Structure 1
Amino acid sequence: MQAVSRIRPARRDTRRRIRQRRAAAFASVTVLTLAVSTSAGTGHLRADPTTAAGSTAPGHPTPLAPCMISGPSDVQMTEGIPTPPGYSRSTGTVRALNLMIDFSDAPGEGTALDRLAEFAPQTRQWFATSSYGRLDYRPEAPIDHWLRMPKPFSAYGMERGAPFEPGYRELVEDLVARADPKVDFRAYDLVNVLVTPNAGPSALDTVLSVTFAGNREAPVADGVPVANASFVYSRQDDGSGAYGETGYRVLPHENGHAFGLPDLYTHEGGGAVGHWDIMSEDWGADNDLLGWHKWKLGWLDETQVSCAAAAGTGEYTLTPLPRPGGAKLVVVPLDSRTAYAVELRTQGGNDVAVCRPGVLVYKVDATVDTGGGPVRVYDSRRDSGGCVRSPNVHAELSDAAFVPGETFKDPRAGIVITVAGTDPAGNHRVRVTRR
């Protein structure tokens, strides 16, 4: 994986406009939940709205309870913990049904299995690395050829990636009708629809890729709603020649929605989180998820998360997020809806573009909808211009991490977070003081 990739300068503003349009679309979509859940380990869909994805509420008293913030029930894809029910499981064996489709006015480009190879096994490895082996993601393609839709692509009238567009409903209904005789939908946790890249505009012009996450209104196949389905169009090819290494990353981003994660980019693009989470920026150099998301998805144990809820001063040791095992996250709750999160980011694992390793401090707000900025990273070096020179990485936040001797302060809340030092293993000591 290249640490840096490039796009032609003329396309940089185009990508910014794409992000703004995509963010606006998601910000206006009502994401419905309580539709369908899966059984970890079996990978079978079932109409059971009581099972939550990822991290679940503990059945016993826990010191982490004050840090398990939650949002109102009408928040679209809340950052609250636990994740509301209705999304796909994000631990254990997760079987992903891949259907490659084409149209009479856009016949399949290459073979269907070639299209699948653009995303698997890379996506499987990405999830295995990010989850420390807790997500066994299995992409399967029981239909190994292009599945021709009954209408031309143009007849569906899709102009942007938004689930409320009528054309998407028609396409899913047609897809189910064509695939159902050959596929048992009950055997899968989520669905990936990999559209032939010559259907619709280039991803550099507009973004049609979209995920139906926990959609109660989804068409039914084999008695279960096709409620967690990701559609991928075109190719996120920036012309740098790195598509073979980077192009797959749109799929783990879209599947992140199926697991209940919101978009972290906003109308301004990646200015809230930058390249610190694939739910913010999924173009270019590889990147991981925030520690908060790893906890939310059930990839961190209770022993790996500390809750700094009491007044006074506490010191915590953080191990690098890419490294399996060890303490990963310190949460500093502000109230029942918001909290600061603190983690140690270094180059390794899925993080290849970390140019200033250190302690990342960010605020999580469970009351903010997807695409509205539910997470905000604090920049330790504001207006520095950053330390990465890739047009696919939000440069200003690339050096946001705090290093030993530096301090984050929130005077109003009476919170001070100081990076106190490191040890020979590269772990960092963090001191949290709250009045």
Structure 2
Amino acid sequence: MEPIARPRRRTALVAVGALAFSLGAVPVEANERVRPGMAPSGPCALPGYTGDVSEAMPTPHGYARSSGTVRALTLFIDFPDAPAEGSTRERYAEFLPATTDYFAASSYGRLDYRPVPVHRWLRMSKPFAAYGIDRGTRWREGSNRGYDLLIREIAAAVRGDIDFADYDLANILVAPNAGPPATESVLSVSFAGYPLLPSLRNISFIWSRQTGPSAFRVLPHENGHTFGLPDLYWTRKGKPPLLAGHWDVMESDWGPTNDFLAWHKWKLGWLAADQTVCVTRSGVTEHRITPSAHPNGLKLVALPIAPGQVLTLEVRTRSHLDQLVCRPGVLIARINTRARSGQGPVRVSDSRPDSGGCLTRDDPSLHPELTDAPYTPGDTYADHRTGIRAQILTATPTGTHRVRIIRP
């Protein structure tokens, strides 16, 4: 398949960092038994778009494994007109071990992310501008410019020293003084699921530099693509609708830290058998959902509602990975597995529409309107197309929420 060079966001931010659908086909509460590292299955694991990264399940072959031990080759490049101004160890420290720790926490220890750095700057043969790298630059096989040339030069520089077959993915950390700063143009990009090298299919390029306490998150975002996840921010023309906001790193990849959506954790193999529930039949069910930050308990309640569409419920509270949660509660989203990356595959329901949000912090990486999106005890979510209702009943001091699902 042809890879897509994905532009990072709608705008450059200031640096601060065909489904046979049948209700009643399975029991009222179908808890799909999956083991971490296995592809999700069952009536809630909806198929969809497979021409590129997407929300479809299972993830097609060719992407990097996303659970168990993942070996990430880490290389460093600079250019004759932009020689590195610091050491490779300094550049490495911008992203690691923070990325390893992030994946360990978000996956509940089910992703053992092991970067393998080669600590030397690989000097490219031409000045930066000669490669024609810009925002949205695509892969052009056989080109004497762009990423194809860069990859060939990188491979030649390490030939005989590195066997790419030993690694699940590769990260290319570029000297931050090469190319424009991130405030002007965001170049970081991943080429996922495509054999760029004979024995390596997934490569992320990280350009420029961000500041702030969680600037490393551009790397988990890009590696999310190598695991098969799409961009959640809007890349089409016109005013963007409300999408996922600051509730997943695949939309908001810089700024204050945030966790992955429970749907993504299931897709990536991070949820155990008793941590997902798929509700398909008519009736009333109740569920106790524990916060995303806690390793144990139910994390995801899913309801298929149409071919390629599913409603998801999870609980988000303030935590190490969700530092700016100002309204803890049940986050409800509509997932579209047929939507392409950058075209709104995830849309979070706003429990307080047009409120302006609950976060007073002025941060250009945030979407204020969705900061108070979670539903709290006493709230009811109603899906007018299906008649499904979700009543938020109670919450414990530790954040576990009891939810009643009413499915006509």
Looking at structure 1, the residues matched to 317 and 251 of structure 2 have their Cα atoms a distance apart, in angstroms, of: 18
Please name the residue that 2:25 is paired with.
Answer: none
Superposition RMSD on alpha carbons, in Å?
1.8
Match of 1:369 among 340, 347, 351: 340
Please name the residue that 1:11 is paired with.
Answer: none
Please name the residue that 2:128 is paired with.
Answer: 153
User: 1:193 deviation in Å?
Assistant: 0.2
The C-alpha deviation readout for 1:129-159, integer Å capped at 9, x for no partner, is 0000001101111x21111112221110111
Aligned partners of 1:340 and 1:363 also within 8 Å: yes
Question: TM-score, with normalisation over the residues of structure 2?
Answer: 0.87
Instruction: Give the letter for the 1:301 counterpart.
Output: A
Aligned partners of 1:100 and 1:112 also within 8 Å: yes
Q: Compared with structure 1, are the counterparts of its residues 270 and 184 closer, same or farther at alpha carbon in structure 2 (3 Å cutoff)?
A: farther
User: 1:181 deviation in Å?
Assistant: 2.5
Shifted more, 143-152 versus 399-408: the winner is 143-152
Please name the residue that 1:314 is paired with.
Answer: 285
Aligned partners of 2:326 and 2:358 also within 8 Å: yes
User: 1:289 deviation in Å?
Assistant: 0.2
User: 1:55 deviation in Å?
Assistant: 4.2
Looking at structure 2, the residues matched to 192 and 270 of structure 1 have their Cα atoms a distance apart, in angstroms, of: 32
Please name the residue that 1:91 is paired with.
Answer: 67
Q: Compared with structure 1, are the counterparts of its residues 277 and 94 closer, same or farther at alpha carbon in structure 2 (3 Å cutoff)?
A: same
Aligned partners of 1:87 and 1:259 also within 8 Å: yes
Please name the residue that 1:19 is paired with.
Answer: 9
Looking at structure 2, the residues matched to 120 and 396 of structure 1 have their Cα atoms a distance apart, in angstroms, of: 32
The C-alpha deviation readout for 1:350-377, integer Å capped at 9, x for no partner, is 1111110000000000000011110000
Looking at structure 2, the residues matched to 401 and 313 of structure 1 have their Cα atoms a distance apart, in angstroms, of: 22
Shifted more, 286-295 versus 148-157: the winner is 148-157
SS in 1 for 2:43: helix
Looking at structure 2, the residues matched to 19 and 56 of structure 1 have their Cα atoms a distance apart, in angstroms, of: 29
User: 1:420 deviation in Å?
Assistant: 1.1
Instruction: Give the letter for the 1:392 counterpart.
Output: S
Match of 1:201 among 171, 177, 180: 180
Shifted more, 173-182 versus 359-368: the winner is 173-182
Aligned partners of 2:316 and 2:329 also within 8 Å: yes
Aligned partners of 1:54 and 1:298 also within 8 Å: yes
Match of 1:66 among 43, 48, 54: 43
Does 1:257 pair with 2:225?
Answer: yes
Looking at structure 1, the residues matched to 281 and 399 of structure 2 have their Cα atoms a distance apart, in angstroms, of: 27
Looking at structure 2, the residues matched to 304 and 162 of structure 1 have their Cα atoms a distance apart, in angstroms, of: 40
Aligned partners of 2:393 and 2:404 also within 8 Å: yes
Looking at structure 1, the residues matched to 72 and 101 of structure 2 have their Cα atoms a distance apart, in angstroms, of: 14
Aligned partners of 2:179 and 2:208 also within 8 Å: yes
The C-alpha deviation readout for 1:362-400, integer Å capped at 9, x for no partner, is 000000001111000000001111122222211110110
Q: Compared with structure 1, are the counterparts of its residues 185 and 393 closer, same or farther at alpha carbon in structure 2 (3 Å cutoff)?
A: same
Does 1:101 pair with 2:84?
Answer: no
Looking at structure 2, the residues matched to 89 and 270 of structure 1 have their Cα atoms a distance apart, in angstroms, of: 32
Does 1:393 pair with 2:372?
Answer: no
Unmatched tracts of structure 1, length 5 or more: 1-16, 23-52, 59-64
Looking at structure 2, the residues matched to 18 and 136 of structure 1 have their Cα atoms a distance apart, in angstroms, of: 26
Instruction: Give the letter for the 1:400 counterpart.
Output: A
Q: Greater share of helix residues, 1 or 2?
A: 1
Aligned partners of 1:323 and 1:349 also within 8 Å: no
Instruction: Give the letter for the 1:356 counterpart.
Output: R
Unmatched tracts of structure 2, length 5 or more: 1-6, 13-35
Q: Percent identity?
A: 49
Looking at structure 2, the residues matched to 257 and 80 of structure 1 have their Cα atoms a distance apart, in angstroms, of: 13
Looking at structure 2, the residues matched to 276 and 79 of structure 1 have their Cα atoms a distance apart, in angstroms, of: 16
User: 1:57 deviation in Å?
Assistant: 4.7
Please name the residue that 2:26 is paired with.
Answer: none
Please name the residue that 2:302 is paired with.
Answer: 331
Aligned partners of 1:112 and 1:146 also within 8 Å: yes
Question: TM-score, with normalisation over the residues of structure 1?
Answer: 0.82
Instruction: Give the letter for the 1:355 counterpart.
Output: C
Looking at structure 1, the residues matched to 10 and 396 of structure 2 have their Cα atoms a distance apart, in angstroms, of: 42
SS in 2 for 1:264: coil
After superposing on structure 2, the runs of 4+ consecutive aligned residues of structure 1 that deviate more than 6 Å are: none
Aligned partners of 1:264 and 1:270 also within 8 Å: no
User: 1:203 deviation in Å?
Assistant: 0.7
Aligned partners of 1:54 and 1:82 also within 8 Å: no
User: 1:164 deviation in Å?
Assistant: 3.1
User: 1:269 deviation in Å?
Assistant: 6.4
SS in 2 for 1:178: helix
Q: Compared with structure 1, are the counterparts of its residues 271 and 410 closer, same or farther at alpha carbon in structure 2 (3 Å cutoff)?
A: closer
Please name the residue that 2:388 is paired with.
Answer: 415
Does 1:228 pair with 2:202?
Answer: yes
| Count of residues paired in the alignment | 370
Please name the residue that 1:144 is paired with.
Answer: 119
The C-alpha deviation readout for 1:207-242, integer Å capped at 9, x for no partner, is 1110010014x133xxx1x310000000123xxxx2
Looking at structure 2, the residues matched to 219 and 133 of structure 1 have their Cα atoms a distance apart, in angstroms, of: 30
Instruction: Give the letter for the 2:202 counterpart.
Output: N
